[in-house]
Amino acid sequence: MSLSSFLLTKDNLELVQKKSWKFGRSEIVDLGMRYYDAHPEDVAEITRNLAYMGMQNSGAALDAVLEHIVAHYYEKLFAMVKRYEAYWIAKNRIDIGDHVGPFLEARETKKAVFIGQSHFGATYLKSAVLTSHGFDVSVVGNFPEPVGGMLLKTSDEMHKRYNAGRASLVNVADPDVDVPMEMFRLLATGKIVSNVFDENNAFCKPVNLLGKQIMGGTGMDLILRNYTDEKVIVVTPFLIRTSDETFRYELDRHELKDGNIVQSFFNACEKRIKKYPEQWYFIQEVHESFVEE
């Protein structure tokens, strides 16, 4: 059993739905930390990954990493079942600063936006940042049922009740969806599209991160090479946890004309990992992306 399957259960969905963020988060985090106490082999793998990447891997630093990994899964449960509270948090607990600027520019100039998504910070709340400010976004990812259906239902309810933008899914788990072609269609028609760039798949290539070579990109360079900066705005947003219940939205902009867009994505991610190492929850599976030396 993995931490994911341990936490993403019907009982925990009901718990999160019933309780406010403050109390639900506390219970899920406690539950997840007890899982780690009972599964030292999972902790050992994370410890090895931290060491390989040149990061602190013991004591308080390790405890913080484990807690933030569990917090990620609480946020996933929260995004699946919460509506008003999710909208309220997006409007009141997230400091967005002026980072909505590229999306406003895209709306005014009829450009598309490609969002490079990484396994860092509060990823499951990032779409709510945009939809709460009236932007529609299409999220590419693997959303098997019931996750996909629950996320869509939450988005539809927020749109109907609070006039928020819509979050739609380009679902890798749906065999009827041609993901690359759908991405091309969305970008060609000026939409906002989000996809991860740091998972390992057949389209990845070696990139540098924290002085190591890992496989990355997920083929996003193959998609983006068909566009120019005059057609598509490219960004990497990060939602940083600033406390147990507050966040800060940061965003880097990338230029396609500069070349090696995938390495540019990883450079942006590296800056956050160095500053907030505990929030890089991909550390639990980064070994799957190691380049064999």
pLDDT of residue 156: 86
Q: What does the block give as tokens for 224?
A: 């983006």
3-state secondary structure 194-232: EEECCCCCCCCEEEEECCEEEEECCCHHHHHCCCCCCCE
DSSP SS3 for 22: helix
Confidence band (pLDDT; 50, 70, 90) for 203?
A: very high
Cis geometry, peptide bond prior to residue 102 (ω within 30 degrees of 0): no
Residue whose C-alpha is closest to residue 77's, from 132, 135, 141, 6: 6
pLDDT for residue 292 is more than 80: no
Of residues 159 and 282, which shows the higher confidence score?
282
In this structure, of 14-23, 139-148, 162-171, the range with the lowest mean pLDDT score is: 139-148
Overall average pLDDT of the 223-235 stretch: 97
Question: Which DSSP helix (H) or strand (E) runs through 19?
Answer: none
What is the rounded average pLDDT of the residues 51-58? 98
Q: Which long-range contacts (CB under 8 A, 24 or more apart) does 31-39 make?
A: 31/7, 31/70, 32/3, 32/6, 32/7, 32/66, 32/67, 32/69, 32/70, 32/73, 32/74, 33/66, 33/67, 33/70, 35/3, 35/6, 35/7, 35/70, 36/3, 36/66, 36/70, 39/3
What is residue 112's predicted lDDT score, i.e. its pLDDT? 98
Mean pLDDT, residues 142-153 taken together: 84
Query: Could you give the percent of the chain with pLDDT greater than 70?
Result: 100
Looking at the DSSP bridge assignments, the partners of residue 150 are none
pLDDT the model gives residue 293? 58
Contact assessment for residue 155 and residue 86, using Cβ atoms and an 8 Å cutoff? no
Q: Are 116 and 251 in contact (CB under 8 A)?
A: no
Q: Mean pLDDT, to the nearest integer, of 84-95?
A: 94
Q: What is the pTM of this model?
A: 0.94
Question: Average pLDDT of 205-214?
Answer: 97
